[in-house]
């Protein structure tokens, strides 16, 4: 039976050929990063780089390696005007922007704290467009994303992508080519799983505490059913699980991180994942507004994140609105 490749899938869409070229380069970058992660121990790339990124977070050596690979590979796309990376403070402009050129937002290695303990990590990306000649504004709302996706480096390497209509998953074979294996990924409406870092319980606002307390209470509580808690410390791993079997992921604003806006970055973490989840039938919110309706104020802006199965997200929105 003939297998559908990523190229077949993209060529069968209505995407501009220049955007298809860029997405193929993103996929190539993900393949290279997957290989560098797999061989990190042999190449001496495990552990800390003894440096910090713009957010003040300690960088792993593979964070820097992954960023360099994304920049090198994706720069081959002639209509790519700029790169916005978690690991680089300033926007990297590759050319004088013209209307229709592309803007690539990416987290080159999400969950890198998991590398040394050999757990799943990945890459996140999204693409928007330059709106007019000479326009160097990269602070667009998530609704303007043309496409978004992630790669997950686990037992197999997968690329999960939305081009604005549905979500498709591609699995890499040993030759590095991605083949369509999950053609219509959807988030189940109902779920009995939630993912949150409970070590922060004492910092949470009341709506989040209420939700988690009700889940923990199980059959004896107001939800009258049991829930399982998951936490992988990798957004890619959490969202992939939700796309496969449902659930809700929370990294809310709390009393500890509120001054910075939250933990996760809007442009290259929250927005891409929100687009994926919404196109798979789920929902994504800060607690009070849709993530993709947030107006960015900076390339590294942080926001609260709640996303996943629609019914659970709607419940959390209701709790937040009641509290506010």
* Known binding-site positions for Mg(2+): 86, 107, 109-110, 269
Binding-site residue numbers for substrate are 110-113, 197, 263
Binding residue positions: 86, 107, 109-113, 197, 263, 269
- C-alpha span between 67 and 43 (Å, rounded): 16
Nearby residues of 171 by Cβ (< 8 Å), 6 or more positions away: 156, 157, 158, 178, 179, 181, 182
Q: Which token pair is 210?
A: 């209420």
Query: What is 59-70 written as a DSSP string?
Result: EEHHHHHHHHHH
d(CA 308, CA 284): 7
> Of 104, 130, 101, which Cα lies nearest the Cα of 272?
104
- Which of 25, 95, 22, 85 lies closest to 59, judged by CA? 85
Pairing label, strands 193-195, 228-230: parallel
């Amino acid at each position: 039976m003939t297998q559908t490749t990523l190229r077949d899938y993209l060529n069968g869409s209505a995407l501009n050929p220049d955007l298809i070229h860029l997405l193929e380069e993103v996929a190539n970058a993900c393949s290279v990063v997957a290989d560098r992660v797999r061989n990190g121990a042999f190449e001496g790339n495990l552990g800390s780089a003894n440096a910090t990124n713009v957010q003040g977070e300690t960088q792993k050596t593979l964070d820097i390696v992954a960023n360099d690979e994304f920049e090198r590979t994706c720069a081959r796309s002639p209509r790519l005007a700029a790169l916005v990376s978690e690991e680089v403070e300033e926007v990297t402009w590759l050319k004088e922007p013209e209307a229709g050129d592309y803007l690539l937002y990416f987290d080159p290695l999400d969950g890198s704290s998991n590398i040394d303990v050999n757990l799943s990590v990945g890459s996140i990306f999204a693409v928007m467009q330059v709106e007019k000649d000479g326009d160097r504004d990269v602070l667009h709302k998530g609704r303007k994303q043309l496409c978004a996706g992630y790669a997950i480096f686990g037992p197999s390497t997968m690329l999960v992508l939305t081009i604005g209509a549905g979500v498709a998953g591609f699995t890499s074979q040993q030759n590095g080519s991605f083949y369509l294996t999950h053609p219509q990924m959807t988030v189940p409406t109902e779920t009995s799983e939630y993912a949150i870092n409970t070590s922060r319980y004492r910092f949470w606002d009341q709506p989040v505490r209420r939700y988690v307390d009700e889940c923990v209470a199980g059959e004896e509580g107001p939800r009258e059913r049991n829930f399982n808690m998951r936490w992988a410390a990798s957004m890619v791993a959490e969202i992939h699980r939700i796309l496969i079997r449902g659930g809700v992921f929370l990294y809310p604003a709390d009393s500890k991180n509120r001054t910075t806006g939250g933990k996760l970055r809007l442009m290259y973490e929250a927005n891409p994942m929100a687009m994926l989840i919404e196109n798979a039938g789920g929902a994504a919110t800060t607690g009070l507004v849709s993530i993709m309706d947030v107006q960015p104020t900076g390339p590294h802006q942080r926001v609260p994140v709640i996303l996943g199965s629609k019914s659970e997200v709607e419940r959390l929105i209701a709790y937040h609105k009641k509290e506010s």
